[in-house]
Amino acid sequence: MRREEKAYRFYESASKAVRQPESAELLRKLCAEELRHRLKLEELQGKGELEPAGQEEVEVEEAQAGLLAEPGPEWPPAPEVLEPRDIWAIALRKERRARDYYRVLSARAPVAAFREVFAYLSSEEQRHADWVRAELEAAGGTGE
């Protein structure tokens, strides 16, 4: 849930910083998607099906999954100082990382309901990565 909240805050801030209406609209759409993901995870937690993980637990899970943070900033706090191409490049890396993280959680989840939710979230993050890649390419970056 912490990941989804960070993504939401980044996209919200970035939506206020970009000048192109289409880009701002996509960033607001990504905000809504991240909020929906967080609510889905909170629903599982509320049913007692998902225990809240502490930061140490999350770091251990990431290390075991081979998903340690890549070099560079996590979610930069001030997108208003970034060029649109930079915002999209950061977003693409993060969406792909989220996709991979949920994919690993889905494969390792002991409960079928968890596997389904994490697989769903992984596919959602892939969809977001596709949207972001298109914006990055339109901004003159590469989606590789």
Tens of pLDDT, residue by residue over 59-108, are 555 555 555 444 344 555 556 667 788 888 888 998 999 999 999 989 98
| Structural domains of the chain sorted by starting position, each given as residue range(s) with its CATH number in brackets | 2-51+76-138 (1.20.1260.10)
Amino acid 130: pLDDT: 96
Q: What is the CA radius of gyration of the chain?
A: 15
Amino acid 80: pLDDT: 64
Residues 6+ apart with CB under 8 A from 71: none
Amino acid 69: pLDDT: 42
Please write the tens of the pLDDT for every residue from 32-52.
999 999 998 888 777 665 555
pLDDT at 28 over 60: yes
Tell me the pTM.
Answer: 0.75
As a whole number of angstroms, the distance between CA 111 and CA 113 comes to 6
Please write the tens of the pLDDT for every residue from 115-131.
898 999 999 999 999 99
List phi, psi (to 5°) of 82. Answer: -100, 150
